[in-house]
């Protein structure tokens, strides 16, 4: 009788369990990275909020030193600092007070109490800020020129709350710029306030 002896060749490879565990670990690492790496839109929003805060503080100092009446106009594209000169609101083109555009995807919401800053005598305020008699400005153009926030030569500002947030965000996200006392301006994350 003849006997044949042989060895069984084992194929080397991964079992299904090993492959599934490896995929699960890679998936967990990918999720962790998405939470750690900040979104570029968040960076742009953070920069825009900090930039506006610094510009408003600078405008306060500018108005205080020059005894100027400044305003700040917001729209969907950005914001513009204006100064009351020669009986009209004129855009400022001075170093830190040039017009600025919002980054893509940033929206704003403004609540302002400008009327309280200007005083009680509405007739005197309207007479002071009336356009020159020879001006041919329509009511719509006059309204479009009016700033939503004021910065007076005394350093006083409108009492306001300005929310900056990403376009597709949940309620409560973003940044809040505000002045509750009409002088100090603060910048806070909206999540920290609410």
Q: CB–CB of 38/46 below 8 Å?
A: no
pLDDT at 38 over 60: no
Instruction: Look up residue 2 and give its DSSP letter.
Output: -
H helix intervals, the chain: 16-36, 40-66, 114-118, 122-128, 139-145, 190-193
pTM of the model: 0.70
Superfamily of domain 40-189, CATH level 4: minor pseudopilin epsh domain (3.55.40.10)
> Any idea where the domains of the chain sit in the sequence?
40-189
- Summarize pLDDT for 60-115 with one digit per residue, the tens: 999 999 999 999 999 999 999 999 988 888 999 888 899 999 998 888 999 988 66
Identify the pLDDT of residue 12.
Answer: 76
As beta bridge partners, residue 164 has: 108, 175
Please provide the average confidence, as pLDDT, over all residues in the chain. 81
Residue with tokens 């000169």: 85
């Amino acid at each position: 009788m003849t006997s044949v002896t042989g060895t069984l060749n084992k194929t080397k490879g991964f079992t299904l369990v090993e492959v599934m565990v490896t995929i699960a670990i890679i998936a967990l690492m990918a999720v962790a990275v998405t939470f750690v790496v900040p979104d570029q839109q968040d960076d742009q929003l953070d920069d825009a909020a900090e930039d506006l805060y610094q510009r408003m503080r600078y405008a306060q100092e500018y108005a205080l030193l020059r005894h100027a009446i400044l305003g700040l106009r917001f729209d969907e594209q950005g914001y513009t600092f204006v100064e009351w000169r020669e009986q009209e609101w004129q855009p400022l083109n001075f170093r830190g007070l040039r017009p600025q555009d919002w980054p893509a995807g940033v929206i704003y919401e403004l609540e302002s109490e400008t009327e309280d800053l200007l005083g009680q005598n509405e007739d005197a305020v309207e007479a002071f800020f009336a356009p020159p008699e020879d001006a041919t400005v329509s009511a719509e153009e006059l309204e479009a020129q009016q700033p939503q926030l004021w910065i007076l030569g005394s350093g006083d500002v409108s009492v306001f709350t300005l929310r900056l947030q990403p376009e597709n965000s949940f309620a409560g996200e973003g940044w809040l710029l505000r002045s509750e006392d009409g002088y100090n301006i603060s910048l806070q994350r909206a999540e920290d306030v609410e």
